[in-house]
Amino acid sequence: MNPKPSKILITGGVRSGKSRYAVNRALNYAAPRVYLATAETFDDGMRERIAKHQVERKSDFLTVEEPLDLAGRIENLEFQPAVVLIDCLTVWVNNLIYHFGEKDLRIQKAIQDLMQQIEGSKLPVILVTNEIGLGVMPENALAHHYIDQLGTLNQSMASICDEVILMITGIPQQLKGVGSRAYVDQPVTKY
């Protein structure tokens, strides 16, 4: 029942079905499964979203909360899971900027560490992120910095993942991997 170990990036817009699809993909792996949650509860709305996601996952996953050090958390898991689902890189980059400040070198270090951890891991990993390159560019410098950080991270992750899925209105579109016609003629800048 277990598919071959792989790295899967699932992207899409807000409320496009990314997390639900990621959970369903992770359920194809035997237990134990780790759900690495990056969200922090700053308000009631976020608490409600987190609670909803927890209900959807039921007891099929061990939830590990890690808002900042994803690479360290993966490296130091107390057991070897069959798969790790990281939800989500979008919130994680926001957390890094919020906690460290937009120009802090710890952000680049955290991103580099995660890239190395994912690329070198034999463990199957499913990553969820938002596709933010389709919207209107905001006018403030902090938003530009955030979009640049996340966009570059998304491109770098896509370059090392075996599969890339774009969710559109709950429908997965295979961009890279088995059955896709993806063609990349230029190397992606990595961190």
Q: Which residues are annotated as catalytic?
A: 53
Cα dihedral sign, 55-69-89-161: negative
Helices (H), ranges, 9-140:
18-26, 44-57, 70-75, 89-100, 105-120
CA triple 178-180-181, angle to 5 deg = 135
Instruction: Let me know: does 147 contact 132? Beta carbons within 8 Å.
Output: yes
State the pairing for strand pair 83-87/125-128: parallel
- Chain position carrying tokens 């270090």: 109
Cα 133 to Cα 139, 146, 150: the distances in Å are: 15, 12, 10
Instruction: Let me know: does 70 contact 92? Beta carbons within 8 Å.
Output: yes
Cα dihedral sign, 146-149-152-157: negative
